[in-house]
């Protein structure tokens, strides 16, 4: 009969062999019958791309896949394929607003309802599905759900970012010990962002601009600490106006140097070829500048208000304590007078009353003044604690300088070795990111889902909405049953009992035939020979993997035609060589004893007519059915006879094809796919081939403005006139005359389809009514090609081409492939008329490749520019080229360390986000070092503060030496103390007590010898470290603490930003507190080096001027100020 049915419901009792199921899922033959693909889908829907079934090709079957895929689709339908693109666009916009016509409104009725369905019902299930299953991973993607997932992650990460900002704000409050000052500092930093936003002519707010809220906190929080630290150091000046002037000059210059250098580093991004990077650089540069201006405007009054509040608070406490003490004194005198009177009357009783009055006096006095005295005591305790904290900080920083000054060469050599290792590691491991930035973490749904989906075909999906559900039954037809085409379509596969093929061991296949059916006067006669046959018609089926190749097919058909002639026993001596074939449902050969199955492709050849040339094609016609098997197994055909054997077609393919003199017919093209003749089959997988769009009629600007939106993003080309016959010929010629170097495998040229449609309708191409024909053809065919129609006329169009060039190739190779398209388009435009001579091509691959090359080139250019402007900025403020070079070297070392951290330690690819990080923190890494270098350059050889710091450090070292001697023996310590009292040794001053501080204040600095050489460099370095070291440490702690909040974010960009900030701050801290002091101690320039002194003397000599009137000292800040005033330690 016709066969039997297979059930795929999973409820049967008989086991179904895996090859049978694979064949049921495979729909590779469906297109041969011009029928839709099977409802169950194809292997590519469920199996990875690398999986090879081995049934349809000569390749062996691959290993079992490690994963399978199922896909489910939710869609909002707002039209069908019969609508034009402009009509679909209109309905799409109406669907987004919920205004579809009631008669065709889908369910859900609007995009809002669809989004609500996705967010409230679908997403919660999908987000928790993977957690509830052990062996199933659920990934999801789509327009609505992707945006919703990003928005959820953004909301969570924004809260973490706000937490980091709150941490910095609270830390500032603890550091400045004032809540109003904390809020004022917060305003100074964050008010710069809206001001910069107003000044930046950006088209829209980008994601990088949102990061500025956090970046400006990291970059400019040190300004707050510098101003407050310098205010605390100015206490020796006494008056508020003098202190304020000193802070503005000292802290203002230092912060101006760092702000100017950092802002110039950001402005250097204006040289980048990427407009988003230019806009971000300008925005951040304005933010840094605004912070400094706001600090100059608001921090001085904040400092004065804070100082006066502290003074008023302290005055109120002192007055309250004084009033309570005087009341206690009056009460005491009255009580004692009363006690003396009572004592004269009765001595014993007087004694008791006197004791009682003392007790009551004491209790009352303590009751009245306890609160004020307690407050004063707390105030004194806090001040003492702060003094101890400052002393500990100064001692730690001084010891750090001592340690650095003992081995500066070792520090420099170690740093140089690390830099060399870092450069080598960067060169070996650096890799550019060619795709878009990765927003989520590697284990997230969107990243992990894309990674898993990359192993599967990306072009096939499950059934579209409205299609039938997958069937659970399939018909298996008998292998020996020869049916009509309609009956064959009902068969999902052919089935037979398989037996071993005897001749296959010798490399030969077998052909078996059935009875010969002879029709005479409408009556069928069956026989085994061909006697009495006027001609023989042989219908042949072949089970073979080799017939897919046309050369192999020719090798087989040549042998089979010879066997047919032998079969006729002289009845026929020639055949009609039709030599065409078609694939039908595959053949399943099942071995009955073991149950193993073999899946073979099944082919049906065109009927072969054999006749004798002398008689011609006469009646009667005899019909013969034959089946050939090229494999280790054949069907058991008990009522059939062996027709002959043939050699392995794969081995004889080349020889047989060479012996065929007749031209080989070209295989028919695949339906729906316009294959071009230059490359029959590409070497690159379809999903990785380069897609190129050629556009007519659209004009796009060649350049973009420096910042801001493009005035005219695109417009229609007024010279493009598609109704001109020469314009139509130019478009058709573009599609038909492609050159071989473009490696085009197939194209989407709708102009060819239109020309064919016009020809079938009896019309000519080019058309004189082109606009009407295009609109009518689109509506009738439902073709959604890229055609722009305005007011019933085609204004622009594009054609798609797929080239056999891998999109994963390097950027240089992709740009060389782009150059070939440039040459081809230039040739076609030169041949075209003026009405279609401005065609151009574009591709997302070109954008990625050009962006990759531009990022590298512009990044190097930006880094060099940033280094140059940083060096110039440092030089302007330090007025010393050697010092500027030293600071720039530390900045470059930090940049190399940061790049090493990103590429080697974290294994990140360098993309646009990483480039932004490098450029941003290139300017930030110089901040700490510039503070240190500026203060180093501002300290002269006779600076009183430096001398006091040096004496204090010398006394501290002496104190540590005495403590070490005390550990050896108390007697020796006492002897040292006696010698010190008698003046026979160095005076020992304990700088940790107020008394010793007074002793240091009374030191005669003029009697101290001037420091020179290495001792002077150490003293200047120590003084610079003590000035800014506390602020640097505070800024480091606040920045790292705030960055910890970013490490727990969901978005990958925030996590990477947190790691980069921690690495940058750590590198800057190490280079500022260890590397830079070591360099300054070793080769730091003197206050007036020869390369500055001699040119100055030459210029003054030429101008006829002598020394400066004040002897080279700086002018006083205010009238009456003494620059030799005592400075704090």
Per DSSP, the residues of 826-853 read HHHHHHS-GGG---EEE-HHHHHHHHHH
What pLDDT was estimated at residue 678?
45
The set of residues, in sequence order, having a beta carbon less than 8 Å from that of 62 and lying 6+ positions away, is 50, 51, 52, 54
Query: Which residues, in sequence order, are CB contacts of 14 under 8 Å at separation 6+?
Result: none
pLDDT tens digits, residue range 1097-1110? 777 777 765 544 44
Amino acid 989: pLDDT: 40
Residue of 632, 82, 500 whose CA lies nearest to 91: 82
Most confident of 263-272, 759-768, 804-813, 815-824: 815-824
Tell me: the pLDDT tens digits for 721-762?
999 989 999 999 998 888 888 888 888 888 888 888 888 788
Mean pLDDT of 985-999: 39
Ranges of beta strands (E only) in 697-813 are: 698-699, 715-716, 744-748, 787-790, 793-806
pLDDT(504) > 50: yes
DSSP letter, residue 185: H
Return the higher-pLDDT residue of 900 and 948. Answer: 900
pLDDT(258) > 70: yes
CB neighbourhood size of 931 (10 A): 27
Given pLDDT bands bounded at 50, 70 and 90, which one contains residue 418?
very high
Q: Residue 902 class from Cβ within 10 Å (0-12 exposed, 13-18 middle, 19+ buried)? A: buried
Residues in the chain: 1129
Q: C-alpha distances in angstroms, 274 versus 122, 286, 613, 856, 946?
A: 39, 19, 78, 11, 48
The CA distance from 922 to 269, in Å, is 12
> Which CA distances in Å does 1059 have to 158, 909, 1032, 1055?
17, 15, 19, 6
**Burial profile 856-894: b = 16 or more Cβ within 10 angstroms, e = fewer:** eebbeebbebbbebbbebbbebbebebbbebbbbbbbbb
Show Cβ contacts of residue 399 under 8 Å, excluding neighbours closer than 6 positions.
Answer: none
Classified as helix, coil or strand, 511 is strand
Please tell me the distance from the alpha carbon of residue 433 to that of residue 913, in angstroms, as a whole number. 10
Query: CA-to-CA distance for 696 and 317, rounded, in angstroms?
Result: 85
Res 354: pLDDT: 47
The pLDDT of 94-101, averaged and rounded, is: 48
**Per-residue tokens: 470:** 């997958």
Q: Do residues 283 and 291 lie in contact, with contact meaning Cβ atoms separated by under 8 Å? A: no
> Of 573, 576, 575, 569, which is closest to residue 612 (Cα–Cα)?
573
Q: Tally Cβ neighbours within 10 Å of residue 619.
A: 11
Residues 566 and 561: their CA atoms lie apart, in Å, by 9
80 vs 89: CA distance, rounded Å: 12
1112 burial via Cβ count (<10 Å: 0-12, 13-18, 19+): exposed
Look at 832 and 98; give whichever has higher pLDDT. 832
What tokens were used for 436?
């878009």
CB 425 within 8 A of CB 903: yes
Query: What pLDDT is recorded for position 604?
Result: 87
- Residue among 763, 752, 746, 742 nearest 818 (CA): 742
Band (pLDDT 50/70/90 cuts) for residue 990 is: very low
Give the DSSP H/E element, type plus range, for residue 1016. helix 1013-1043
The dihedral region occupied by 579, where left means phi > 0, alpha psi between -120 and 50, and beta the remainder, is left
Ranges 269-283, 318-332, 422-436, 565-579: which has the least confidence? 318-332
How wide is the angle at C-alpha 315 spanned by C-alphas 313 and 316, nearest 5°? 65
Q: Which residues, in sequence order, are bridge partners of residue 746?
A: 675, 802
Distance CA 405, CA 1082 (A): 8
Cβ of 995: how many Cβ atoms within 10 Å? 10
Q: What is the pLDDT of residue 467?
A: 45
145-162 in b/e burial notation, b at 16+ Cβ within 10 A?
beebbeeebbeebeebbe
Give the whole-angstrom CA distance, residue 126 versus residue 449: 12
pLDDT in tens, 521-542: 778 888 888 888 888 889 999 9
pLDDT-derived band at 104 (thresholds 50, 70, 90) equals very low
Whole-angstrom Cα distance, residue 417 to residue 511?
77
CA 515 – CA 528 distance, rounded (Å): 5
Euclidean distance between CA atoms 332 and 336, whole angstroms: 6
Confidence of residue 48 (pLDDT cuts 50, 70, 90): confident
| Predicted pLDDT of residue 377 | 59
Residue 1124 has pLDDT above 80, yes or no: no
Using CA atoms, how far apart are residues 552 and 1051, in angstroms rounded to an integer? Answer: 55
1002: Cα separation from own chain's centroid: 62
Residue 440 gets which letter from DSSP? B
Give the pLDDT score at 197: 81
The closest alpha carbon to 1055, from 902, 848, 896, belongs to 902
Which region among 203-217, 770-784, 885-899 has the lowest average model confidence (pLDDT)?
Answer: 203-217
Using one digit for the tens of pLDDT, what is the confidence trace for 1011-1050?
888 888 898 999 889 888 888 888 888 888 888 888 888 8
Question: Sorting pLDDT into bands at 50, 70 and 90, what band is 101?
Answer: very low
- At residue 225 the predicted structure's pLDDT band, cuts being 50, 70 and 90, is confident
3-class SS letters over 649-697: HHHHHHHHHHHCCCCCCCCCCCCCCEECCCCCCCCCCHHHEEEEEEEEC
The residue that leads in pLDDT, 820 or 617, is 820
- Distance from the Cα of residue 986 to its chain's centroid: 64
Percent of the residues in the chain that have a pLDDT greater than 70, as a whole number: 70
Does the pLDDT at position 1090 exceed 70?
yes
Average pLDDT, the chain: 75
The first and second tokens of residue 966, run together, are 């005390």
- φ, ψ of residue 951 to 5 degrees: the values are -65, -40
Give the C-alpha separation, 809 to 852, whole Å: 12
Which tokens go with 77? 């339908």
Window from 25-34, 185-194, 338-347, 703-712 with minimum mean pLDDT: 25-34
* Confidence (pLDDT) at 1079: 92
Q: Residue 981: pLDDT above 90?
A: no
pLDDT digits (tens, 9 = 90+) for 1037-1089: 888 888 888 888 888 888 888 899 899 999 999 999 999 999 999 988 888 77
> Mean pLDDT across the stretch 657-669?
31
CA–CA distance, 463 with 72 (Å, rounded to integer): 9
Any idea what DSSP says for residue 15? Answer: P
* Among 770, 694, 698, 771, CA closest to 735: 694
Per-residue tokens: 915: 């480039």
Measured CA to CA, the distance from residue 32 to residue 581 in angstroms comes to 11
Tell me the DSSP string of 248-261: HHHHHHHHHHHHHH
Largest CA distance in the chain: 175
Burial class (CB in 10 A: 0-12, 13-18, 19+), 295: buried
SS3 125: helix
Kindly report, residue by residue over 378-417, the tens digit of the pLDDT: 656 666 666 777 778 888 888 888 888 888 999 999 999 9
Percent of the chain with pLDDT strictly greater than 90? 10
Which of 162-166, 340-344, 501-505, 923-927 ranks highest by mean pLDDT?
Answer: 162-166
pTM score of the predicted model: 0.65
Token readout for 61 is: 């079957």
DSSP class of residue 502 equals G
Distance CA 65, CA 56 (A): 18
| Residue in the block written with tokens 């005055």 | 315
Q: Which residues lie below 8 Å from residue 711, measured CB to CB, with a gap of 6+?
A: 705
What confidence tier does 94 reach under pLDDT thresholds 50, 70, 90?
Answer: low
Structure tokens at 627: 């089946």
pLDDT at 653: 36
According to DSSP, residue 473 is labeled E
Neighbours of 1126 (CB within 10 A): 16
Rounded to whole angstroms, how far apart are CA atoms 547 and 91?
Answer: 49
Looking at the predicted structure, is the pLDDT value of residue 344 above 60?
Answer: no
pLDDT of residue 898: 92
């Amino acid at each position: 009969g016709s066969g039997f049915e297979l059930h795929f419901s999973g409820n049967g009792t008989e086991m179904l062999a895996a090859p049978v199921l694979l064949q049921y899922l495979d729909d590779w033959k469906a297109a041969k019958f011009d029928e839709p693909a099977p409802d169950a889908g194809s292997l590519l829907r469920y199996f990875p791309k690398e999986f090879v079934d081995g049934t349809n090709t000569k390749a062996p079957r691959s290993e079992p896949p490690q994963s399978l895929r199922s896909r489910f689709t939710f869609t909002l339908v707002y039209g069908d394929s019969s609508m034009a693109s402009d009509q679909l666009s209109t309905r799409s916009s109406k669907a987004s607003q919920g205004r579809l016509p009631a008669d065709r409104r889908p369910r859900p009725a609007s995009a809002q309802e669809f989004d609500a369905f996705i967010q409230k019902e679908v997403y919660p299930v999908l987000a928790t599905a993977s957690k509830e299953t052990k062996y199933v991973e659920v990934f999801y993607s789509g327009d609505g759900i992707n945006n919703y997932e990003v928005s959820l992650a953004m909301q969570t990460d924004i809260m973490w970012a706000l937490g980091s900002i709150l941490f910095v704000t609270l830390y500032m409050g603890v550091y400045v010990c004032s809540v109003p000052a904390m809020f004022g500092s917060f305003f100074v930093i964050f008010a710069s962002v809206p001001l910069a936003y107003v000044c930046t002519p950006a088209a829209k707010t980008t994601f990088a601009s949102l990061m500025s809220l956090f970046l400006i906190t990291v970059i400019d929080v040190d300004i707050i600490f510098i101003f407050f630290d310098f205010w605390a150091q100015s206490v020796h000046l006494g008056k508020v106006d003098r202190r304020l002037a000193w802070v503005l000059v000292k802290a203002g210059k230092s912060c101006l140097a760092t702000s100017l250098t950092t802002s110039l580093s950001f402005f250097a991004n204006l040289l980048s070829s990427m407009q988003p990077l230019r806009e971000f650089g300008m925005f951040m540069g304005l933010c840094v500048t605004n912070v400094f201006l706001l600090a100059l405007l608001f921090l001085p009054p904040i400092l004065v208000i804070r100082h006066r509040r502290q003074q008023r608070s302290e005055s109120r406490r002192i007055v309250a304590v004084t009033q309570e003490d005087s009341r206690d004194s009056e009460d005491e005198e009255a009580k004692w007078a009363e006690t003396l009177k009572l004592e004269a009357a009765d001595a014993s009783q007087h004694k008791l009353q006197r004791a009682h009055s003392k007790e009551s006096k004491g209790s009352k006095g303590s009751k009245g003044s306890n609160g004020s005295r307690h407050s004063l005591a707390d105030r004194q305790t806090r001040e003492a604690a702060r003094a101890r904290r400052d002393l500990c900080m100064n001692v730690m920083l001084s010891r750090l300088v001592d340690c650095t000054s003992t081995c500066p060469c070792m520090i420099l050599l170690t740093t140089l070795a690390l830099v060399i290792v870092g450069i080598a590691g960067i060169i070996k491991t650096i890799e550019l990111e060619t795709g878009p930035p990765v927003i989520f973490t590697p284990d997230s749904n969107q990243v992990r889902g894309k990674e898993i989906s990359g192993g599967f075909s990306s072009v096939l999906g499950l059934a579209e909405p409205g299609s039938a559900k997958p069937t659970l039954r399939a018909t298996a037809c008998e292998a020996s049953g020869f049916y009509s085409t309609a009956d064959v379509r009902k068969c999902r596969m052919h089935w037979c009992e398989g037996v071993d093929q005897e001749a296959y061991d010798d490399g030969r296949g077998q052909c078996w035939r059935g009875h010969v059916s002879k029709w005479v006067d409408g009556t069928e006669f069956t026989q085994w020979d061909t006697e009495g046959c006027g001609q023989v018609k042989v219908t042949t089926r072949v089970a073979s993997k080799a017939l897919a190749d046309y050369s192999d097919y020719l090798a087989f058909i040549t042998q089979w035609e010879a066997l047919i002639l032998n079969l006729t026993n002289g009845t026929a001596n020639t055949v009609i060589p039709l030599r065409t074939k078609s694939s039908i449902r595959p053949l399943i050969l099942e071995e009955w004893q073991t149950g193993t199955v073999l899946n073979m492709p099944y082919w049906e050849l065109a009927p072969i007519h054999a006749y004798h040339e002398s008689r011609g094609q006469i009646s009667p016609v005899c019909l013969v059915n034959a089946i050939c098997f090229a494999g280790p197994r054949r069907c058991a055909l008990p009522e059939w006879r062996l027709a002959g054997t043939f050699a392995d077609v794969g081995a004889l393919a080349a020889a047989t094809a060479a012996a065929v003199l007749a031209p080989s017919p070209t295989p028919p093209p695949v339906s729906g796919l316009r294959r071009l003749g230059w490359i029959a089959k590409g070497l690159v997988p379809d999903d990785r081939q380069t897609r190129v769009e050629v556009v007519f009629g659209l004009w796009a600007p060649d350049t973009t403005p420096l910042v801001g939106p493009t005035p005219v993003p695109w417009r229609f080309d007024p010279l493009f006139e598609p109704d001109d016959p020469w314009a139509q010929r130019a478009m058709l010629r573009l599609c038909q005359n492609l050159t071989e170097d473009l490696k085009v495998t197939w194209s989407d040229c709708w102009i060819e389809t239109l020309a064919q449609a016009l020809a079938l309708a009896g019309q000519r191409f080019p058309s004189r009514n082109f606009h009407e024909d295009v609109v009518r053809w689109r509506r009738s065919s439902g073709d959604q090609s890229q055609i722009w129609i305005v007011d019933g006329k085609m204004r622009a169009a594009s054609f798609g081409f797929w080239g056999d060039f891998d999109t994963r190739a390097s950027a240089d190779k992709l740009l060389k492939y782009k150059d070939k398209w440039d040459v081809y388009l230039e040739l076609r435009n030169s041949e075209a008329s003026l009405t279609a001579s401005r065609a151009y091509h574009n591709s997302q691959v070109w954008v990625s490749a050009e962006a990759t090359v531009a990022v590298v080139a512009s990044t190097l250019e930006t880094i060099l520019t940033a280094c140059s402007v940083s060096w110039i900025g440092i030089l302007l403020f330090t007025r010393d080229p050697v010092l500027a070079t030293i600071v720039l070297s530390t900045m470059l070392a930090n940049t190399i360390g940061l790049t090493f951290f990103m590429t080697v330690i974290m294994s990140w690819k360098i993309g646009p986000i990483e480039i932004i990080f490098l450029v941003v923190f290139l300017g930030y890494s110089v901040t700490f070092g510039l503070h240190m270098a500026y203060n180093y350059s501002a300290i002269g050889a006779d600076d009183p503060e430096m001398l006091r710091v040096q004496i204090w450090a010398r006394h501290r070292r002496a104190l540590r030496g005495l403590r070490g001697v005390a550990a050896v023996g108390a007697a020796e310590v006492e002897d040292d103390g006696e010698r010190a009292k008698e003046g026979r040794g160095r005076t020992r001053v304990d700088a940790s007590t107020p008394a010793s501080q007074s002793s240091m204040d009374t030191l005669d600095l003029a009697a101290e010898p001037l420091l020179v050489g290495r001792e002077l460099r150490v003293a200047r370095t120590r003084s610079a470290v003590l000035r800014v070291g506390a602020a640097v440490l505070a800024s480091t702690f606040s920045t790292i603490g705030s960055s910890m909040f970013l490490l727990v974010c969901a978005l990958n960009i925030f996590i990477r930003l947190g790691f980069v900030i921690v690495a940058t701050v750590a590198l800057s801290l190490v280079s500022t507190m260890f590397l830079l002091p070591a360099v300054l101690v070793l080769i730091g320039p003197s206050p007036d080096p020869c390369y500055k002194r001699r040119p100055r003397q030459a210029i003054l000599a030429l101008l006829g001027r002598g020394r400066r009137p004040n002897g080279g000292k700086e002018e006083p800040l205010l009238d009456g100020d003494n620059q030799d005033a005592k400075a704090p330690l």
